[in-house]
Structures are given as structure tokens and as C-alpha cells.
Structure 1
Amino acid sequence: MSMFSIFNVSGSAVSSQAQRLNVVASNLANADAVAGPDGKGYKARQVVFETVPMGSQDATGVRVSRVQESQEPLKRTYNPTHPSADTDGYVTQSNVNPVEEMVNMISASRSYQNNVEVMNTAKTLLLKTLQMGQ
């Protein structure tokens, strides 16, 4: 594994974590969303990662294999005065848990920062190596 492979691994991780942050942002934006006229509410989405092994055609590292919807049931609250209430007086809302999403966001942000730091450290080491050869 060469020093340059570090950039492939960390770069793929940064890209994957950026996509994870976008999904978390979408979940948080729809945390209080009410089901539309079709009765379907917003379902939380989660990013599923997969590793890309060394020697494969793609660059070594990590990538997003898919974004899957949560299988948790949608929240139903009793509010007969709400304009979106069904005939029984219940309002269907998204199944997003804002606390879990905030934890997910912090985790993704830290992973993103750590991988940027890995690339900066590798760059510094390569520059020091070049300076030794002068």
C-alpha cells in the first residue's frame, strides 16, 4: 500500500460521510413533516456503507452502497382539529427521531474531520520526505 493510497481511502470516506450528512440534514428537515394527501409520511433514511477492498477496480476505501428507508412505523398523534387529521382524528407524522439524527450528525461530522486530518497528515509526511531528498 503506497502513501498515495491513503488519499484514496480518506477521500472516499470524506465523500461517503458528506453523503451521510446530507441524508441526516434531510431527515432533520422532515422531522415534523405531516403525511401528504396520499397518506404517506416521510420515512427516515439511513446510509449503508460498504468497504472497497484493495485490488478491486474501484479505488480502495469506503462507499455508500445504498440509502434505505426506516421500517419503523410512522408516528400517529391524536389531533382532530388539525387540517391533515384522518376521519378518526389522527395525524400521521414522520418517524424521524431528532435525537438519534443529531447523534448521527455528530458522528458523521467527526468522521469527516478525522479523515480530513488523515489527508493533511499524509500530505505533510510526503512534503517532509521530499524535503529530505533535497
Structure 2
Amino acid sequence: MDLDASLGVSASGLRAQSLRMRVIAENLANQDSVAETPGGDPYRRRVVSFQAEVDRATGATGVKVRSVQGDQSNFTKVYQPGHPAADAQGYVLKPNVNGLIESADMKAAQRSYEANLNAIEAAKSLTMRTIDLLK
């Protein structure tokens, strides 16, 4: 694999993981939000899914974001009859965001991002060594 292909693969990974970290940060920021109207739905957790993408020019396989979709798991119900977002029975729906899961996903995304940065640095270093040998 040549330098352009390896940089392209790593760059696609950086873009994908960067978007994943932004979505996770949004999930964490909204984990305590509730609906604006009584009985309404609160923030729904979003999940990023990826797919492989072949670069026809280089033949290298990178990664591409397939979609960012709402997690269809159930909301949590909390009994708070005086809350402005409570339904007729006094229950408030809370987002389906679990801070521990989001934190673990964030750590995995950060490590993937770092791995792609290290791959770019390694390709750069090998190229510089090759140039030094040719001098």
C-alpha cells in the first residue's frame, strides 16, 4: 500500500471517529433533558454506524459513516407529579442515555482516533526515513 492509500485510510478513520465523538458528546450533554411539553418525548440517544468504503483510485478500504440514527430503546419513567413535563399520571420520561455506556463509547472512539493518528505518524516517519536513505 502506498503513502496516499495509507493516509487516505487513516484520514477516513479520523473523520468517522471525530463524528462519533461529537454524537457521544451530544448524548452526554442531553442525558438529563426532558420533554418541553407534558407527556412529550425527551431527547433520544443517537448512535453512529459505519460501513467499509473502497477507494477506487487506490484500491484501499476506508471507513465511512453509514448513518446517525436514534436509539429505539425505551425511555425511563420517573414519578414526578409536580414537574412541568409530567404526563397525566405524573410520570416524566427521561432520555434513554446511559452515562456509563456513553463514557465507554467515548473512550473507544478516542482510542480509535489515536490509532489513526499513530498510523499517519508512522507513514510520515517511514517516508522521511526513505528520503534520508536516498540522499
TM-score, length basis structure 2: 0.92
- Quick one: percent identity of the two aligned structures? 38
The structural deviation recorded for 1:119 is: 0.2
The structural deviation recorded for 1:110 is: 0.5
Q: Does 2:68 match 1:67?
A: yes
Gaps of 5+ in 1: none
Gaps of 5+ in 2: none
Quick one: distance in 2 between partners of 1:131 and 1:4? 19
Residue 127 of structure 1 aligns to a residue in which SS? Answer: helix
Tell me how many residue pairs correspond in the alignment: 134
Quick one: distance in 2 between partners of 1:58 and 1:114? 21
The structural deviation recorded for 1:112 is: 0.3
Amino acid at match of 2:79: Y
User: After TM superposition, which residue ranges in structure 1, 4 or more long, deviate above 3 angstroms?
Assistant: 56-60
TM-score, length basis structure 1: 0.93
| RMSD value, Cα | 1.8
* Contact map agreement 1:41 1:93 (CA 8 A) in 2: yes
Quick one: distance in 2 between partners of 1:116 and 1:101? 22
In structure 2, the partner of 1:82 is 83
